[in-house]
Structure 1
Amino acid sequence: MTGLELAILDCANCGARFMACPQCVCTVRIDPQTGFPPDVRVIDGKAVHNPKPDPEAVQRSEKRPVCDDCVRKRNAIRQKGGKAAAHMEGPWETWEERHDRTHREGGRA
């Protein structure tokens, strides 16, 4: 890896502190009013996918970092498929994978 700049971040999913390149870290959009992604609703105390999120929640949502451990767990759930992963599209990259891809020598992906 070249051009490594690290920051201490808090994971939007698990809350753990971790170090990552702030330009390359995987992020999710979180609605600051609910603490959940705009496409998540809480029903009977359980977070469930909402295929039609509230446009206001989408607009006020903010990008928040996700640690590589949570990225790997999410990708494993998606690969297994099933009802819990039905709305998950495509794999996410860890910050190290994205950093390596985008900061190769010469600064080009």
Structure 2
Amino acid sequence: MAGKATIRINGRHSPMAWLLYMTKLTVEIDGTPQPGSWGDRVISVPPGRHDVKIYFKYLTKSRCCEAGATVDAAEGSTIAMEYRTPMMMTAPGRLTVLG
């Protein structure tokens, strides 16, 4: 895809955290939030450096288990990332750039 890059995110939580099935995972790229579902998500971005933050609303906390990373996306490239929730909902999540 000319002039574009792709960020592919896999967001998961433990099946034991069953309440999270009722939440939406928000992916924020360069300050623009994109609420959606857990699992795989593919987002097209312009080439360049991007700040990625991931979080979800849980009970009274609007940005629960937030994690972030800065990635450099070259034109035509795909950046694969993985988000995992922590065991405790008061801790930050883990966002890893794969490969």
- TM-score normalized by the length of structure 1: 0.25
Q: Which has more radius of gyration?
A: 1
- TM-score normalized by the length of structure 2: 0.27
User: Greater share of helix residues, 1 or 2?
Assistant: 1
User: Greater share of strand residues, 1 or 2?
Assistant: 2
